[in-house]
Structure 1
Amino acid sequence: MNIRAATLADIPEISELLTQLTQDFIAPTCTEEGAAILVNAMSIEAIGSYFAMGYQYHVAITDSGQLAGVVGMKANSHLYHLFVASHAQGQGVARMLWEHAKAQCVAQGNPGVFTVNSALNAQAVYLGFGFVPLGPERDRGGIRDIPMQLTL
């Protein structure tokens, strides 16, 4: 498994992965309106705008060249996207991506404080990384999540 900085050429494949996994795993926990907003936020145009705004993306690529996962960081401290392809789940890819992104952020001056708005079904993963809930489950425009923080 190789983890590298994502490039503009990766955007269509990142969008495809995020859209599919969002539809499969996150949208069912949202209202119809919330699911539509969330899926739209995974479009090629949306991912391109995140790149343009300076979000830092890294991809995990299998030895055969297949996209296994993606991590996106906002403002060097907010874990914005962490998705692992179905074929690569259960192999530690999420942890590898997170550890890579975290190290990059610390190297770029993050003092060791990270946040994430966890999807309901991803909370256990983030708890395993050391994040703790900042409050109860929220419903923001039909999108349900749990705000979490990690302090190193």
Structure 2
Amino acid sequence: MDIKLVSENEIDNALDLILRVFMEFEAPDYSSEGVDSFVNDIIKNDDFRKGCIEGQFKMYGAFDNGKIVAVMTMRKLSHIMLAFVNRNYQRQGIGRMLFEHICNDIRSNNDNISEITVNSSPYGLRFYKSLGFTKISEEQEKHGIKFIPMAYKL
């Protein structure tokens, strides 16, 4: 398994993966407003795509024989914005490998960052707890997107 930043020519495959996994595991728990918000604000958003290309968002991918199988995207270097793993690769430690790679990157390049945050979906809560994240408030909802704010001390 190779872990690296997603290149410009790999972004479409990454977004396809994110959308497939979201629709299968997250969307059933969301209202139509939440699904539309996610699709329009992330998948179809040219500014998000441009931000990934220009480095405003750091999109890391896990690749199996050149095929992207997992994605974790960071905003402001210390906030997990997206984390999705292909159905066939879940529960194999790939999400943890991505997270550990990002933690090592942060520790190596940003001495001033001591915490990583995430707004976990209800589906992702168990995953983030297994990494050592703790809830910092109860579940919230914005634009139909349900989330639980969490933090991890580096």
Identify the TM-score tier after normalising by the shorter chain. over 0.9
How far 1:78 sits from its partner (Å)?
A: 0.2
RMSD: 1.5
| Alignment partners' CA distance in 2, 1:53 and 1:37 | 23
Q: Please state whether the residue corresponding to 1:114 is helix, strand or coil.
A: strand
How far 1:23 sits from its partner (Å)?
A: 1.1
* Matching residue of 2:101: 100
| Alignment partners' CA distance in 2, 1:101 and 1:42 | 22
CA displacement 1:85-141 (0-9 Å, x = unmatched): 112112110000011111112222143201000010110100111110111100111
* Matching residue of 1:6: 6
Instruction: Verify the 8 A CA contact 2:72 2:98 in the aligned structure 1.
Output: yes
- 128, 131, 138: which is aligned to 1:129? 131
Instruction: Verify the 8 A CA contact 2:63 2:70 in the aligned structure 1.
Output: yes
| Alignment partners' CA distance in 1, 2:101 and 2:55 | 21
What stretches of structure 1 of length at least 5 have no aligned partner?
none
| Alignment partners' CA distance in 1, 2:122 and 2:47 | 22
Q: Please state whether the residue corresponding to 1:120 is helix, strand or coil.
A: coil
TM-score, length-normalised on structure 2?
0.91
- The residue identity in structure 1 corresponding to 2:96 is R
How far 1:142 sits from its partner (Å)?
A: 1.0
Q: Please state whether the residue corresponding to 1:121 is helix, strand or coil.
A: coil
Going from structure 1 to structure 2, the CA distance change for 1:75 and 1:128 (only over 3 Å counts) comes to same
Instruction: Verify the 8 A CA contact 2:114 2:153 in the aligned structure 1.
Output: yes
Instruction: Verify the 8 A CA contact 2:78 2:113 in the aligned structure 1.
Output: no
How far 1:46 sits from its partner (Å)?
A: 5.2
* Matching residue of 1:55: 57
| Alignment partners' CA distance in 2, 1:74 and 1:108 | 15
Instruction: Verify the 8 A CA contact 1:19 1:39 in the aligned structure 2.
Output: yes
Q: % of aligned pairs identical?
A: 28
**Structure 1 runs, 4 residues or longer, greater than 4 Å off:** none
| Alignment partners' CA distance in 1, 2:57 and 2:106 | 11
How far 1:44 sits from its partner (Å)?
A: 6.7
TM-score, length-normalised on structure 1?
0.92
